[in-house]
Structure 1
Amino acid sequence: MVQFINRERELEFLEGRCRSGEAELIVLYGRRRVGKTELIRRFGEGWKMMYFLGRLEAREETLRRFSSTLAESFGDSRLMSNPLRDWDAAFEYLAEKSAQRVVLAIDEFPFMAERFPEIVSVLQDKWDNRLKSSMLMLILSGSSVGMMEKHALDYKSPLYGRRTGQWKLDKMGIGHLGAFFPGYGMEDIVRLFACLDAIPGYLVKFSPDKSIADNIRERMLSKGEFLYEEVEILMREELRDPSNYMTILASVAGGVSSFGEICSRSRLEKSLVSKYLHVLERLGIVEKRLPITATAKAVLKSSGALYSMKDNFFDFWFRFVYPNRQELERGAARQVSEAIMPDFERYVSRKFEDFAAEFVSLGHAGTFGRVGKWWGKSREGNIMEIDVAAVNEKSGNALFGECKWQRGVNALKVAEALAGKVEAAAPRAGKVTLAIFAKSFSKRVAKLEGRRVLCFDLKDMERALSARAKKRC
């Protein structure tokens, strides 16, 4: 049974549009495996909805299936035996049947738009002249972000300006990971986040009855498994020539972060690297970061920006699967698993910083508009970094945090070191709060030199996230 967790806001959006009393053309998009199809199906349980899945097949077969879907819904035996001949007739039929609320969801719409280019312009014409005055709610869904933008969202698309709403479905929040793995402690939840992010379609591939190490070996490092092949499949679907993108992603996952270093490591021209990075940003695989205190001018020019992997699943794959493909293809999953585990914990310690940043963004340490990181130089010219940084632009208040993927952390010592960095990071900030995140503490501290200090161990974070989840139920 497919688990359906969270997505209350998305359901409310769709249900609200369904009750609008007007024609609705909704675009639902987002990367694969985030749960678009399950969201559509769950929404459809409360309404009489027709669901149609686009496939890579001949026009006649698609029209036959489409006609069958309509005929079954409207009880039209004549249509069942005499399928519609073209898309003009198909949308005209829908217009005639939509005097009352009719809901139709076309999933994987890009497959149809690529296979039958005329469908987009035909839909535009029918929407303008017939459907926009009907009671049809049409949901166009797709997993290829680039193709959905091209066919439904881009200003060059015939459908541009026709949509009445759109929703980009993102991964879930960290607070919902525990619902998939109720037997996991918080330490393993963070490791899970480091491997699979919070993407439902990947989370269900892990067994909640097995350890993280066993799941990694059996589901991510074993040839033939879904997660082992997934990255290359996704890249082939989104990109015409994935090879250069693979080179760049391997560099970024390996710790190369500046634009110049990426160009040097990939041995590609700067113009190409810039183009590829832009595409990877748009797909949500890579992100460009600036220090949280960067000026508006620096943000505009992206001066001093660093690149990092935004998608943890891609990050894990390029760090641990891609470099070991030769051994893994021979079936050496156990040997590779044992070899990567020490480095895996170092990798998790870095992902713990992102986990803590999302925790802060949920409001568990105060109200802040922007959350990220800070890096820069001290007065002496030494390079410094702060793991978590957050700013409330209205009040000028800020939070700076350090993350220690360790047990028995002395929070006082960490806070003292952090306080020294804060002077360089935000000398003119308003009220500054320090935050320490760790597996556990040997000593906590509540104040340092008049500043509030927040200490969050894994149990504290688990309680806060659980309370938030219960509050939303």
Structure 2
Amino acid sequence: MSQQKFVNRVEDMKILEDIWSANGASLFILYGRRRVGKTELINRFIGGRGVYFLATTEGDRENIRSFKVIISKFLGDDSILKASFDDWHSFFSVLSSSSSFQARAMRSKIIIAIDEFPYLIDSNRAIPSIFQKIYDTILRQMNVMLILSGSSISMMENEVLSYKSPLYGRRTGQLRLSPLKFRHLAEFVDYGFEDLCKTYFVFGGVPEYLLKLDPDLDFWGNVSRTMLSRGGPLYEEAEFLLRTEFREPKNYMLILKSISYGNHTLGEMCSYSSLDKSMVSKYLDVLMALGLITVEKPFGSNDKFKKRLYWISDQYLKFWFRYILQHKSEIESSHTEEVLSDIMDTFSSFAGEQFENLMKELLLDGILGRSFSQASRWWGRNGTGKKGMDIEEIDIVAYSETRGELLFAECKWTNSPVPKSLFQGLRAKSGALRKQYPGIKYTYAVFSKSGFRGEYKEIGEDTILMDLSDIQKGLNELLRGKKMDRSVFY
């Protein structure tokens, strides 16, 4: 498998190309979590039009020394290489006034990309002010596109993008790079559709994680190789990821661990962690801003809804905290087979939650041949008044305001076919929401890993039943731009 695989960054590349094509200088901010593909995107974008520089924590002098080697080679100008510079401003002053740089800029806009910009800030807290001065007094008058990139989302947002940053207002564009969607996984691993789903449940859409999978191993073989040994490439990745964002990640680890153990409310997390409510709330806000957790409230509830639930949103982190962290002692003792057996015994339960999230993603993408503006879980009282039996839950409620449609859906990742009673129960549970949304169209769907059993002939045109093979067909039609043929899904 190629370690340079570059998948579906068409829209991201277009954003960069549009900025590069505009007249005048530009300052672009690119950031996103570790391993998401920033470096590959930047290098593919640059081509032969500029230079890529990966900053280190060695301080200004060493970084300038390394950078001038790269820019000298690009310009074919040894005079820059031989010169000595004490700071970044003097370096860019000499660089921009050199005949080789000016001649190259006359032919085409020069791209200068500095990756891991937060490393420069760590070594010198004045770096944002220094680069603001460099851009304002030197580069703004040049035919240059400066890209500042970083993996520390918190530092990029606080030190580069925030209102308080000296660089605020200078940028001509910004992009937070996201992981790939499920639809692109088949370009990394040649698995059957069920194993593709399981791969997404565990590794998500982070390109570098997917590139670490061995094409000659099956799904469980790759889980074992990458995470269940001390030398596995993803065994300690979660801790590295958190250290990228937090100088002292202990309490953030505690919150994520609490959620992975089933503590999804603020009160439950406070009890588990022994931290006070204000502290836990602060940590949750930070984790949400970084995209590591998400907050959930029932479909249709307003902003004042208090009993919100918190979930780990990153697939890899969710799996790591659920399984790897609690088995570290066994993994350190090389008990790989025992750990793998334990994971396989309970994986269906873990996968069920991920299957719901996958189907939300696919519904929003248009797998049913029509789009929805939102999709979320719903829970609430059914009005029976029977204590302990008066709470209902629907896996997915999707809504389209333009069509005036509500879709009610259940998702089942089980080894047995789904009985007709599940569908009948879905219709009954949807009654509470139907009363709240009169006068619109209601449709139903059941998504099942293992298909269906029983007689479904009486199910009407308002319902779609899909097993994994049907979901795969729908996804293939979506990727080909075709409208789904509903007749093949019951």
Q: Shorter-chain TM-score category?
A: over 0.9
2:17 equivalent in structure 1: 15
Q: Which amino acid aligns with 2:139?
A: L
1:321 equivalent in structure 2: 324
Distance in 1 between residues matched to 2:318 and 2:196, nearest whole Å: 17
1:49 matched to 2:50? The reply is yes
Contact persistence 1:180–1:204 (CA under 8 A):
yes
Distance in 2 between residues matched to 1:67 and 1:56, nearest whole Å: 17
1:371 equivalent in structure 2: 375
Deviations 1:197-241 (A, max 9, x none): 111111111212212222112211111212111011111221122
What secondary structure does 1:103 align onto?
Answer: strand
2:488 equivalent in structure 1: none
2:412 equivalent in structure 1: 404
1:30 matched to 2:32? The reply is yes
1:113 matched to 2:114? The reply is no
1:187 equivalent in structure 2: 194
Contact persistence 2:116–2:151 (CA under 8 A):
yes
Equivalent of residue 477 in structure 2, options 440, 462, 467: 467
Distance in 2 between residues matched to 1:255 and 1:117, nearest whole Å: 40
Displacement of 1:440 in angstroms is 3.6
Distance in 2 between residues matched to 1:202 and 1:144, nearest whole Å: 18
Equivalent of residue 420 in structure 1, options 390, 414, 428: 428
* Structure 1 segment 221-260 matched on structure 2, within 5 A: 221-260=228-267
Contact persistence 2:203–2:209 (CA under 8 A):
yes
Contact persistence 2:412–2:418 (CA under 8 A):
no
What secondary structure does 1:34 align onto?
Answer: coil
Provide the aligned length of Structure 1 versus Structure 2: 465
Distance in 1 between residues matched to 2:359 and 2:315, nearest whole Å: 14
Q: Which amino acid aligns with 1:421?
A: K
What secondary structure does 2:234 align onto?
Answer: helix
Deviations 1:283-338 (A, max 9, x none): 2111101112112xxx2x35221111101111101110111111111111111111
Distance in 2 between residues matched to 1:426 and 1:208, nearest whole Å: 48
* Structure 1 segment 263-412 matched on structure 2, within 5 A: 263-295=270-302, 299=303, 301-365=304-368, 366-381=370-385, 382-406=390-414, 409-410=417-418, 412=420
Distance in 2 between residues matched to 1:261 and 1:406, nearest whole Å: 29
Equivalent of residue 452 in structure 2, options 433, 439, 442: 442
Q: Which moves more between the two structures, 202-211 or 263-272?
A: 202-211
Contact persistence 2:59–2:120 (CA under 8 A):
no
Contact persistence 2:420–2:452 (CA under 8 A):
no
Q: Which amino acid aligns with 2:40?
A: E
1:261 matched to 2:268? The reply is yes
Distance in 1 between residues matched to 2:371 and 2:328, nearest whole Å: 44
Distance in 2 between residues matched to 1:308 and 1:447, nearest whole Å: 38
What secondary structure does 1:434 align onto?
Answer: strand
Distance in 1 between residues matched to 2:457 and 2:42, nearest whole Å: 47
Distance in 2 between residues matched to 1:425 and 1:290, nearest whole Å: 15
Relative to structure 1, the CA distance from residue 273 to residue 451 in structure 2 (aligned partners, 3 Å threshold; closer, same or farther) is: farther
Contact persistence 1:280–1:286 (CA under 8 A):
yes
1:208 matched to 2:215? The reply is yes
Distance in 2 between residues matched to 1:94 and 1:461, nearest whole Å: 56
Equivalent of residue 111 in structure 2, options 93, 103, 106: 103
Distance in 1 between residues matched to 2:36 and 2:383, nearest whole Å: 45
2:167 equivalent in structure 1: 159
Relative to structure 1, the CA distance from residue 321 to residue 407 in structure 2 (aligned partners, 3 Å threshold; closer, same or farther) is: closer
1:137 equivalent in structure 2: 145
Distance in 2 between residues matched to 1:410 and 1:280, nearest whole Å: 37
Displacement of 1:468 in angstroms is 3.4
Q: Which moves more between the two structures, 150-159 or 76-85?
A: 76-85
Distance in 1 between residues matched to 2:131 and 2:44, nearest whole Å: 26
Distance in 1 between residues matched to 2:457 and 2:135, nearest whole Å: 61
What secondary structure does 2:375 align onto?
Answer: strand
Relative to structure 1, the CA distance from residue 48 to residue 447 in structure 2 (aligned partners, 3 Å threshold; closer, same or farther) is: farther
Aligned structure 1 segments of 4 or more residues deviating by more than 4 angstroms: 443-448
Contact persistence 1:352–1:405 (CA under 8 A):
yes
* Structure 1 segment 51-66 matched on structure 2, within 5 A: 51-66=52-67
1:196 equivalent in structure 2: 203
Identity %: 38
Distance in 2 between residues matched to 1:257 and 1:394, nearest whole Å: 33
Displacement of 1:340 in angstroms is 2.1
What secondary structure does 2:298 align onto?
Answer: coil
Distance in 2 between residues matched to 1:68 and 1:203, nearest whole Å: 33
Distance in 2 between residues matched to 1:260 and 1:397, nearest whole Å: 35
Distance in 1 between residues matched to 2:117 and 2:375, nearest whole Å: 35
Contact persistence 2:367–2:478 (CA under 8 A):
no
Distance in 2 between residues matched to 1:82 and 1:129, nearest whole Å: 21
Gap regions ≥5 residues in structure 1: none
Distance in 2 between residues matched to 1:460 and 1:353, nearest whole Å: 16
Deviations 1:373-409 (A, max 9, x none): 1111111241111111111234432111101113563
1:68 matched to 2:69? The reply is yes
Contact persistence 2:444–2:463 (CA under 8 A):
yes
TM-score, with length taken from structure 2: 0.91
Displacement of 1:463 in angstroms is 2.2
